[in-house]
Amino acid sequence: MLARLIDSARSKVLVAAYSLKNRWIAEALIRAHGRGIEVKVILDASQARAGGSQYWNLWLSGIYVRTLWDARPMRYGFAMIDDDVFVAGSYGFSRSEEGYESVVGLQGEVVRRYSEEFERLWVDAK
């Protein structure tokens, strides 16, 4: 489901997750980047280069990928598509095709706060 939402992106896709091991999601991010969509990804540093991680596939495709080094691992995962679709997962986006994502259409203040949280994480990440 998340891959289909990414494929429908018109302007940007932001992903912050403990891990990203789902090949279909990574391929959708690469396609979006290829269409000129702004794509930014933040992964927990402990998982970015772990087995099955899509970190290198994204990075080699020219997508901005940063890792967050923190004493506390990221215990959530979320994605925002075009400031109007919010997708949440527990720790990240797993290898399963469907995963455990919850998709919620959000607008207004909630979207603004998650956008601010992403930007805060983006600044802290390397």
Q: Domain limits at 78?
A: 2-124
| pTM higher than 0.75 | yes
- Token output for 23: 């090949």
Instruction: Please give the Cα distance from 65 to 87 (Å, whole number).
Output: 18
CATH of residue 106's domain is 3.30.870.10
In angstroms, what CA-CA distances link 3 with 31, 95, 116? Answer: 10, 12, 23
pLDDT digits (tens, 9 = 90+) for 35-89: 999 999 999 888 887 888 899 999 999 999 999 887 566 667 888 899 888 887 6
9-29: average pLDDT:
92
- Computed over every residue of the chain, the mean pLDDT equals 83
Domain count, the chain: 1
pLDDT of residue 95: 57
